[in-house]
A and B are shown apart, each in its own frame.
Chain A
């Protein structure tokens, strides 16, 4: 067999100095590339226009969703009434509603709606981070068993009575979340570290921690505790308080800001850890910080509202379709979408079978499973 390399560019003479034009920016540019540049600018401008409009509109939509969702329910309330109560409470006006109605708005529906928005945003952000860092379109806190672990941690606190109060619950959930996440990453890396191994490890961890939770509930809880725990494991925002809103709000907002500050690093993980390292990212540190941040956000959310699935899985894909893959826009867009989504799903959950209440995790699963199937089919392609 003969191989002959036909050199399309005649080989340089060894003695002749090489033409060096420094860096790519230094190259001469022909007119056609100038034309391309101009059209690219137009394209960019329109892209910024569309995404800018979306991002500008979305906070208004979130506000409108909060105000709108509060009016939905058995008491006959309008947006103006809600505004009146809020103005009254912050000392900028007065409300002509009865004290009971004021209490429904201020103590029940407002914190619950805000918490729904915060949890939706937080779970969706966790989904983006996990999908990007682990390079897996199916990653989300629920699928990877982090929610399960957090539930086990929280249930141990409630049923076994270790520690007390919201801080104790969150701490238990955080420890559980870290434990299950660590287990999943360890299992996946021992099994070869590929995409499907990670999902399989997540399933294993979900099963294990669900079993542990059931074990704790069946051996230690009384009937009253069991009913409470089960309802809460399916996800419920019915016990939302202003403390929950504050704690979750601070953690989720902090998490979002941290992630947006590191958006370029998250982008760099698109082709894996080595590629990110070769782009100047301190992979070990950034990964550790972001994964712990995800576990922390998941833990705080699970400890206040239970395990709500599919928000983190589906909404990042929807957001990518709207604003593209760059994390600087993707993260806030996903957060806003997550907020709007969970506010309305929770509103539906507390009203569709009125006077009973559907666990919000059941509602998100009913919406999420068909969407999950779509993501799976896309991932196969």
Chain B
């Protein structure tokens, strides 16, 4: 069982409160959505949960062990993160990018082993970019870049995968395909999302952030109510429950 939990996490860089007293638990095997308007602290919370930022107070625990006491390398073998639109100045091939996922698994001086290469191919196949491995990363479309980063994260062989708005700038077909991929993945996933309908369709659980606080958490059908949407996003919406949860937006409040 691998569960990631935050307990009373607060983060206030230079006195500005960004994450305020957040407690949440991502259960083993679940696909969990992290929702909230722009600036509600989703990306910051993801960085804290990934151990990339130390919380000002509170604890993040992986299977009950605080991240603070874990070595970076050990953490990187258990938890992978895909940040928003990562960019590089180097002329990397897709294979080079996916191979980065093996960095925590081998000594820094060692070449990729046969097993490393097998994992890389496997991860690429799983993310649907196996035929792109020898292409330049810079020539890929937005959707393919996201898939490459997901393949890199899979090559880390993590138990938990954190994704920060992976559907940003993707057209609707690629959004659906990407979330279907996330959904199919065997790992526990925490996905920051903007689109409430996508969250409702693909997540087992959602947490809603507003001004750095978790204001609701649970199955999307229970959490995404008309009153919550108007309160958090400031829009009027109608929620239909006939075929799954479908949210119809009526306009700003």
* B195 at the A interface (CB under 8 A): yes
* B133 at the A interface (CB under 8 A): yes
When the two chains form the complex, which single residue of B86, B176, B248 contacts A271, counting CB atoms closer than 8 Å? Answer: B86
Cβ B107 vs Cβ A11 within 8 A? no
* B130 at the A interface (CB under 8 A): yes
Minimum CB distance partner of B105 in chain A: A280
Given contacts A23-B157, A280-B76, contact A5 B88 (CB under 8 A): no
* A93 at the B interface (CB under 8 A): no
A278, B77: Cα distance in complex, Å: 9
A366, B176: Cα distance in complex, Å: 54
* B119 at the A interface (CB under 8 A): yes
A271, B154: Cα distance in complex, Å: 17
* B232 at the A interface (CB under 8 A): no
Cβ A280 vs Cβ B130 within 8 A? no
When the two chains form the complex, which single residue of A33, A262, A279 contacts B109, counting CB atoms closer than 8 Å? Answer: A262
* B80 at the A interface (CB under 8 A): yes
Shortest distance from the beta carbon of A242 to any chain B beta carbon, whole Å: 31
Given contacts A264-B103, A270-B92, contact A24 B248 (CB under 8 A): no
Minimum CB distance partner of B104 in chain A: A280
Shortest distance from the beta carbon of A255 to any chain B beta carbon, whole Å: 15
Contact partners of B25 in chain A: CB under 8 A: none
Chain A 1-25: CB-based contact to B (< 8 A → 1; otherwise 0): 1111111110110100011111111
Minimum CB distance partner of A276 in chain B: B103
Interface size on A, residues (CB 8 A): 60
Minimum CB distance partner of A6 in chain B: B176
* B106 at the A interface (CB under 8 A): yes
Shortest distance from the beta carbon of A250 to any chain B beta carbon, whole Å: 20
* B69 at the A interface (CB under 8 A): no
* A261 at the B interface (CB under 8 A): yes
Given contacts A267-B100, A325-B96, contact A24 B126 (CB under 8 A): yes
Cβ A262 vs Cβ B108 within 8 A? yes
When the two chains form the complex, which single residue of A12, A137, A274 contacts B52, counting CB atoms closer than 8 Å? Answer: A274
A261, B106: Cα distance in complex, Å: 12
Shortest distance from the beta carbon of A57 to any chain B beta carbon, whole Å: 20
A44, B90: Cα distance in complex, Å: 21
* A163 at the B interface (CB under 8 A): no
* B117 at the A interface (CB under 8 A): yes
Chain B 217-243: CB-based contact to A (< 8 A → 1; otherwise 0): 000000000000000000000000000
Contact partners of A36 in chain B: CB under 8 A: 121, 125, 130-131
Cβ B249 vs Cβ A3 within 8 A? yes
Within 8 A of B (CB), among A231-281: 260-265, 267-268, 270-272, 274-275, 277-281
Chain A 27-56: CB-based contact to B (< 8 A → 1; otherwise 0): 101000100110010011000000000000
Shortest distance from the beta carbon of A297 to any chain B beta carbon, whole Å: 19
Given contacts A23-B157, A24-B123, contact A279 B76 (CB under 8 A): yes
Contact partners of B177 in chain A: CB under 8 A: 8
Contact partners of B122 in chain A: CB under 8 A: 24-25, 27, 29, 33
* B170 at the A interface (CB under 8 A): no
* B171 at the A interface (CB under 8 A): no
Cβ A22 vs Cβ B186 within 8 A? yes
Cβ B103 vs Cβ A267 within 8 A? yes
Contact partners of A20 in chain B: CB under 8 A: 29, 186
* A195 at the B interface (CB under 8 A): yes
Cβ B106 vs Cβ A264 within 8 A? yes
A328, B110: Cα distance in complex, Å: 8
Shortest distance from the beta carbon of A30 to any chain B beta carbon, whole Å: 8
Shortest distance from the beta carbon of B141 to any chain A beta carbon, whole Å: 17
A23, B119: Cα distance in complex, Å: 9
* B7 at the A interface (CB under 8 A): no
Cβ A5 vs Cβ B200 within 8 A? yes
* A78 at the B interface (CB under 8 A): no
Cβ A9 vs Cβ B180 within 8 A? yes
Chain B 64-76: CB-based contact to A (< 8 A → 1; otherwise 0): 0000000111111
Cβ A277 vs Cβ B157 within 8 A? no
Q: Output the residue of A275, A282, A326 with the most chain B CB within 10 A.
A: A275
A-B CB contact pairs (8 Å), 22 listed: A3-B247, A4-B197, A5-B197, A19-B186, A25-B157, A27-B126, A29-B122, A33-B121, A36-B125, A36-B131, A137-B89, A195-B89, A264-B103, A264-B108, A271-B87, A272-B87, A274-B47, A277-B51, A277-B52, A278-B81, A320-B91, A326-B96
Q: Closest 4 A-B residue pairs measured CB to CB?
A: A280-B76, A280-B104, A264-B108, A280-B73
With A261-B109, A275-B86, A275-B100 given, name 14 new contacts (CB 8 A): A1-B248, A4-B246, A24-B157, A24-B186, A25-B157, A29-B122, A33-B121, A33-B122, A36-B130, A272-B87, A274-B47, A277-B72, A278-B81, A281-B72
